[in-house]
Amino acid sequence: MPRWVKEIKPAPPSLDDHSGDLDRLKRSLHQECGLEQVCVDLETIQSLPAMIRDSAYRLRLALFQDREKTFITGMDPAGSTKPVLGLAVDLGTTRYVLQLVDLETGAVLASADHGNPQSRIGPDILTRIHHAGQKGGTQELQTMLIQDLQAGIEKLCRENGLDHRRISNLALAGNTAMTHLFLGLDTRWLIREPYVPVLNDPGLCRASEIGLDLGPLAAVYCFPNAGSYFGGDLFAGILDAGLDESNEISLLVDVGTNAEVVLGNKDWLIGCAGAAGPALEGGVSEIGKPAGPGIIERVGIDAQTLEFNLQTISNQPPLGICGSGFIDLAAGLFICGLLDARGKFVTDKDPERFVKREGQDCLVLVQASQSGNGQDLLIGQAEIDSLIRSKAAMYTILETLTASVGLTFEQVDRFCVAGTFGQYIDPESAISIGMLPDLPLEIFHTLGNSSLGGATRLLQEPESLDIVSRTRDRMTYLELNVNQEFMNEFSAARFLPHTDRNRFPSVVRKLKTRN
Amino acid sequence: MPRWVKEIKPAPPSLDDHSGDLDRLKRSLHQECGLEQVCVDLETIQSLPAMIRDSAYRLRLALFQDREKTFITGMDPAGSTKPVLGLAVDLGTTRYVLQLVDLETGAVLASADHGNPQSRIGPDILTRIHHAGQKGGTQELQTMLIQDLQAGIEKLCRENGLDHRRISNLALAGNTAMTHLFLGLDTRWLIREPYVPVLNDPGLCRASEIGLDLGPLAAVYCFPNAGSYFGGDLFAGILDAGLDESNEISLLVDVGTNAEVVLGNKDWLIGCAGAAGPALEGGVSEIGKPAGPGIIERVGIDAQTLEFNLQTISNQPPLGICGSGFIDLAAGLFICGLLDARGKFVTDKDPERFVKREGQDCLVLVQASQSGNGQDLLIGQAEIDSLIRSKAAMYTILETLTASVGLTFEQVDRFCVAGTFGQYIDPESAISIGMLPDLPLEIFHTLGNSSLGGATRLLQEPESLDIVSRTRDRMTYLELNVNQEFMNEFSAARFLPHTDRNRFPSVVRKLKTRN
């Protein structure tokens, strides 16, 4: 399998061939690797004459490309036993994940995740963008991030007996704002009409240009974005899901801070992203707590006995509930009749389960005696309402996107759910509340961190660069205008599972079985 | 006339055009300037969003190109009154010359010349290359040069009320070794068989990469070389002489530390360079002293009275003689019979003119009473012998090159003499001693510093970049093997003007007039 590491044999000079060392290297790259426009920086050229002579004119090069140019990112004598490392980075607003890859074999060597240090400035992107707009703010945010990344990278390498100076290729996937801040680019215009990024295709730059201390020739590739709300994380996800490589029609939903949705196959791709206007403020993932020990991730409710079966992370006494558990809970409550079609608690069905707090009905999910912190774990009606808005937004976005190309959900062959929030969602529960369409469970696939997966694949398979470029060129971006039609759809989706129950036959069947 | 400075009007963003600021800049460069592969570095991109909005989407860019890529080297709002400066550098082994150019108008603003600081390591290239081969030697020589250049550039700007940080484009022409040392490249292999340079086409790099502090985006273009002995200074000279742009057959002779000769026209070019092997050791310009006050630059001898007429620089009392004066002197001595055809003094023709020193005949050029330092100014037979070897080398090189393409001197339409030494030579004198062929005086042109001239033209006319590239591609390099035929020619040329006097009819006519 082709890799970013290549062995080449530039011709030795002779009295008949006076061309320079660099000329012979470039000729070799052309003849042996088919490469034309290779950028060899001065530092490489300075070390070239001694290196090619010491290595008897056999070199092992690390290469990295974007759609315009090829960089030499590492150079050793052929046969060197030193590893050539790649680093995949999923740069999220809240957390980032690092993954080390052996560029010769493609093997994943180690990974680690960390909180995004910019959270100190603000947990959400908007706060950071406002901060970046102040004098020196962009650089402050960039420096904060780069220093944390550098420390994280060095720690990960150290713990695995590796040298961070052997990292030659870094592939980074992040949303548009995070990618801008990583590169030290002005984010102000992302949130002001007409909402344009500084660039859509950062391509390659030298790691040293952004202050990262990796291999001396290391280069950084940032996945492209298509506008302010459709980021590199999603292009990495499309690569990871192989959306662009199949005849099958796939839907990819990345449920992170925003919902980002792509529909298509190898012939066409259409995507949309973002909370669709103020009506949907809060996005789709506001509910629940981050995963952690004692957090409820699975909920089952026995439709006959109304008994709750809770599963916590690490089997610790319950402290809270995360998104996937919350969706399970709402689905269970609805199927067993404790939530009505409007999403309101049916308190008289099991009065002992409910209390009033500040005039609001609350479900006692866990009693104080059994919780991890000695307090009742309550779910308020307002939180359920928020979930309903979120699920309605998600369904409406899926519906709008699918309808925009004249398709129905039934024509979708594969439904990929990715993202930090999405990867734990039980599709059956999500269908029960009408968040995801009522399709056969076997077509749902959870991808996990598809942004990291795509970045990793780019380091493993040089051809994937073409896939990303092609994807970006072929992507149609659907602007989710919150028009009357969208709002009508949204309103209809604010019922459980939907005002039009015919769309959810499996849910209707379940409801019929309840007592 | 096209310049390296362009005004462009990138489209403002709109709700219908979500493309990024950089995308719109690149589109504008493509549509308005026909440029494709533009390298915009991260620093430019970082300043772009504020700049295009503050300038109402009208920018003045400084551009610079090599055969592979285009760099943005400066960016201002359109209409800025700040100058955009270029700097031409002729980097010689002994001296370097700086020349500031206004990149908008093409006007030459100021110039200055300085000694090459590497002379502290060794006056000649070989000593420096040996020094560079020691640990840290290359970097030491580079740093020495760059620091001196930086100081020289800042001084030149300061004296002319200009800011060196407004320099965006630097064009440098130097011989292969000097260009290598400027870029910090290994020179060891230039002087070892098979004599290959590290590179033949340095193209563009960022000024900061080589430690020069100019404009923040400034780029440096180094003229290409064709092997170890045919340097960028000569390609700059070809550009300056317009050799490549005419149907006329031209000969360009650059007499500097080496003799470098190019013959050709717009259809073909052939060149050779360097002292042709150990037989010609000492090159062609060893004779005489550097120009300066009191140095004799012109000599006339009255063939009737044998009276000497000396002209010194600044009309100061004579202290020495420079190359052009020395050639005049040798020509005069020969024409009036004080030198014979073997180049030996004819002391009995004017005994008072000669003295013996350490067994050697010496000509008293200036008596102590009239010299600038109170001593006799003597010219020894050995110095004349050295000049004869030099002139024989020059003539043989010209003869060999011309014959190699089946031409005779009479078919040459234009004869350009360039270089620090060459620019003051009187062609008539040079013909008299058989250094230059006996052609009509009107076809001789002295170009002055053609290396600086070419570098300056590159800053004034972007099209000249293509000329340089084309020249380099079309140049045939003639290896001057010191074979028997060459040595025979050389031996024949060691007479005044030549063993074959039929080649020098104008000299024969002069000789007939002497008493």
Residue of A185, A192, A473 to mutate, testing the B interface (most B Cβ within 10 Å of its Cβ)? A185
Are B253 and B416 contacting, i.e. CB atoms less than 8 angstroms apart?
yes
The answer to whether B228 faces chain A, any CB pair under 8 Å, is yes
Which residues in chain B are contacts of A194 at CB distance < 8 A? Answer: 13-15, 17-18
Which residues in chain B are contacts of A51 at CB distance < 8 A? Answer: none
The DSSP call for residue B345 is B
Q: Tell me, yes or no, whether B194 and B125 share the same domain.
A: yes
Task: Extract the runs of DSSP E, i.e. beta strands, from B287-359.
Answer: 295-301, 308-312, 320-321, 354-357
Q: Tell me, yes or no, whether A44 and A154 share the same domain.
A: no
Which of A278-292, B48-62, B336-350, B435-449 is predicted least confidently? A278-292
Q: How many CB pairs under 8 A join A and B?
A: 117
Distance from CA of A198 to the nearest CA of B (A): 5
Residue B403 domain-assigned (yes or no): yes
B5-8 and B59-65 beta bridge pairing: antiparallel
The DSSP call for residue A483 is -
Task: Extract the runs of DSSP E, i.e. beta strands, from B259-323.
Answer: 259-264, 269-273, 295-301, 308-312, 320-321
pLDDT score, position B254? 82
Domain that holds residue A488: 244-281+387-513
Q: How far apart are CA B30 and CA A219, in angstroms?
A: 26
Strands lying side by side in the sheet with A59-65? A5-8, A59-65, A70-77, A38-39
The answer to whether B196 faces chain A, any CB pair under 8 Å, is yes
Residue A238 domain-assigned (yes or no): no
Residue B25 domain-assigned (yes or no): yes
A167-174 and A108-115 beta bridge pairing: unpaired
B167-174 and B85-91 beta bridge pairing: parallel
Q: How far apart are CA A82 and CA B266, in angstroms?
A: 52
pLDDT score, position A483? 74
Contacts of B257 (CB under 8 A, 6+ apart): B92, B93, B94, B124, B125, B175, B283, B285
The answer to whether A210 faces chain B, any CB pair under 8 Å, is yes
The answer to whether A23 faces chain B, any CB pair under 8 Å, is yes
Give the position of tokens 């592939």: A171
> What 3 state SS string does A74-135 have?
EEEECCCCCCCEEEEEEECCCEEEEEEEECCCCCEEEEEEEECHHHHCCCCHHHHHHHHCCC
Mean pLDDT of B181-186: 97
Distance from CA of B495 to the nearest CA of A (A): 34
Q: How many of the other CB atoms lie within 10 Å of CB of B108?
A: 15
The DSSP line for B14-48 is BTTB---HHHHHHHHHHHHH----EE--HHHHHHH
Angle, to 10 degrees, between the axis of helix B176-183 and the axis of helix A42-54?
Answer: 110
Under an 8 A CB cutoff, do A42 and B477 touch? no
Which residues in chain A are contacts of B196 at CB distance < 8 A? Answer: 13, 18-21
Under an 8 A CB cutoff, do B68 and A37 touch? yes
Q: How many of the other CB atoms lie within 10 Å of CB of A161?
A: 8
State whether residue B262 is helix, strand or coil. Answer: strand
Under an 8 A CB cutoff, do B186 and A46 touch? yes
pLDDT score, position A232? 95
Q: CA A276: distance to chain centroid?
A: 19
Which residues in chain B are contacts of A199 at CB distance < 8 A? Answer: 20-23, 45
At B276, is the pLDDT very low, low, confident or very high (cuts 50, 70, 90)? very low
> Domain boundary residue among B338, B368, B386?
B386
Structure tokens at A342: 């409007």
Q: Tell me, yes or no, whether A410 and A491 share the same domain.
A: yes
Give the position of tokens 């908008």: B104
Q: What are phi and psi of A414, to 5 degrees?
A: -150, 135
Which residues in chain A are contacts of B22 at CB distance < 8 A? Answer: 198-200
pLDDT of residue B496 exceeding 90, the answer is yes
Q: How far apart are CA B113 and CA B107, in angstroms?
A: 19
Residue of A14, A21, A201, A221 to mutate, testing the B interface (most B Cβ within 10 Å of its Cβ)? A21
Under an 8 A CB cutoff, do A197 and B20 touch? yes
Which of A72-81, B272-281, B450-459 is predicted least confidently? B272-281
One-letter amino acid at B335 equals I
Cα dihedral across residues B279, B283, B284, B289: positive or negative = negative
Are A449 and A90 contacting, i.e. CB atoms less than 8 angstroms apart?
yes
What CATH number corresponds to the domain at position B46? Answer: 3.10.20.880
The DSSP line for B422-470 is GGG--HHHHHHTTSS----GGGEEEEESHHHHHHHHHHH-TTHHHHHHH
Phi-psi map region of B26: left, alpha, beta (phi>0 left; psi -120 to 50 alpha): alpha
Positions of chain A with pLDDT lower than 70, given as ranges: 256-258, 274-288, 420-421, 481-482, 515
Under an 8 A CB cutoff, do B189 and A49 touch? yes
Residue B454 domain-assigned (yes or no): yes
Chain A residue with the nearest C-alpha to that of B44: A185
Chain A residue with the nearest C-alpha to that of B139: A46
Chain A residue with the nearest C-alpha to that of B51: A186
Q: Tell me, yes or no, whether A61 and A93 share the same domain.
A: no
The answer to whether B79 faces chain A, any CB pair under 8 Å, is no
Distances (CA, A) of A8 to A31, A42, B171, B186: 10, 20, 33, 22
Mean pLDDT of B497-512: 95
Distances (CA, A) of B161 to B100, B166, B212, B473: 12, 12, 20, 40
Q: What is the largest CA-CA distance in chain B?
A: 97
Structure tokens at A97: 């994940």
Q: How far apart are CA B137 and CA B129, in angstroms?
A: 9
Closest partner CB to B194 (pick from A18, A41, A46): A18
Q: Tell me, yes or no, whether A68 and A102 share the same domain.
A: no
Q: Tell me, yes or no, whether A421 and A443 share the same domain.
A: yes
What CATH number corresponds to the domain at position B211? Answer: 3.30.420.480
Q: How far apart are CA B167 and CA B103, in angstroms?
A: 9
Distance from CA of A342 to the nearest CA of B (A): 37
The answer to whether B143 faces chain A, any CB pair under 8 Å, is no
pLDDT of residue B283 exceeding 60, the answer is no
Q: Tell me, yes or no, whether A256 and A368 share the same domain.
A: no
Under an 8 A CB cutoff, do B18 and A227 touch? yes
Distance from CA of B348 to the nearest CA of A (A): 52
Closest CA to A204 of A191, A189, A217: A217
pLDDT score, position B275? 56
Q: Tell me, yes or no, whether A34 and A152 share the same domain.
A: no
The answer to whether B133 faces chain A, any CB pair under 8 Å, is no
The DSSP line for B464-478 is HHHHHHHHHHHEEEP
Closest CA to A23 of A4, A40, A6, A7: A40
Are A75 and A217 contacting, i.e. CB atoms less than 8 angstroms apart?
yes
Under an 8 A CB cutoff, do A23 and B50 touch? no
Mean pLDDT of B224-229: 86
Q: How far apart are CA B129 and CA B189, in angstroms?
A: 9
Exposed, middle or buried, B407 (CB in 10 Å: 0-12/13-18/19+)? Answer: middle
What CATH number corresponds to the domain at position B470? Answer: 3.30.420.40
Residue B464 domain-assigned (yes or no): yes
Mean pLDDT of B361-365: 95
pLDDT score, position B279? 39
> What 3 state SS string does B162-199 have?
CCHHHEEEEEEEECHHHHHHHHCCCCHHHCCCCCCCCC
Which residues in chain A are contacts of B228 at CB distance < 8 A? Answer: 18
Q: How many of the other CB atoms lie within 10 Å of CB of A27?
A: 15
Q: Tell me, yes or no, whether A67 and A96 share the same domain.
A: no
> What is the enclosing helix (H) or strand (E) of B57?
none
Are B57 and B48 contacting, i.e. CB atoms less than 8 angstroms apart?
no
> Domain boundary residue among A77, A104, A134?
A77
Which residues in chain A are contacts of B14 at CB distance < 8 A? Answer: 194
**pLDDT tens figures, B140-162:** 999 999 999 999 999 999 999 99
Residue A14 domain-assigned (yes or no): yes
Q: How far apart are CA B329 and CA B297, in angstroms?
A: 10
> Domain boundary residue among A340, A356, A378?
A378
Are B259 and B476 contacting, i.e. CB atoms less than 8 angstroms apart?
no
Under an 8 A CB cutoff, do B15 and A41 touch? no
Under an 8 A CB cutoff, do B199 and A22 touch? yes
pLDDT of residue B509 exceeding 70, the answer is yes
Number of domains present in the structure of chain B: 4
The answer to whether B20 faces chain A, any CB pair under 8 Å, is yes
Strands lying side by side in the sheet with B354-357? B354-357, B360-366, B377-380
Q: Tell me, yes or no, whether B267 and B396 share the same domain.
A: yes
Contacts of A360 (CB under 8 A, 6+ apart): A380, A381, A382
The DSSP line for A145-170 is HHHHHHHHHHHHHHHTT--GGGEEEE
Distances (CA, A) of B67 to A33, A226, B173, B204: 21, 31, 16, 9
The answer to whether A198 faces chain B, any CB pair under 8 Å, is yes
Residue A371 domain-assigned (yes or no): yes
Distance from CA of B58 to the nearest CA of A (A): 16
Are B374 and B368 contacting, i.e. CB atoms less than 8 angstroms apart?
yes
Residue A290 domain-assigned (yes or no): no
ipTM: 0.86
Q: Tell me, yes or no, whether B168 and B89 share the same domain.
A: yes
State whether residue A44 is helix, strand or coil. Answer: helix
Q: Tell me, yes or no, whether A446 and A419 share the same domain.
A: yes
Chain B residue with the nearest C-alpha to that of A209: B42
Chain A residue with the nearest C-alpha to that of B48: A198
For the full predicted model, state whether its pTM sits above 0.95.
Answer: no
- Peptide bond just before A497 cis, omega within 30 deg: yes
The answer to whether A42 faces chain B, any CB pair under 8 Å, is yes
Residue of B37, B45, B48 to mutate, testing the A interface (most A Cβ within 10 Å of its Cβ)? B45
Q: How far apart are CA A222 and CA B175, in angstroms?
A: 40
B382 compared with B275, residue with greater pLDDT: B382
pLDDT score, position A277? 40
Distances (CA, A) of A270 to A244, A267, A403: 11, 11, 11
Angle, to 10 degrees, between the axis of helix A464-474 and the axis of helix A232-241?
Answer: 120
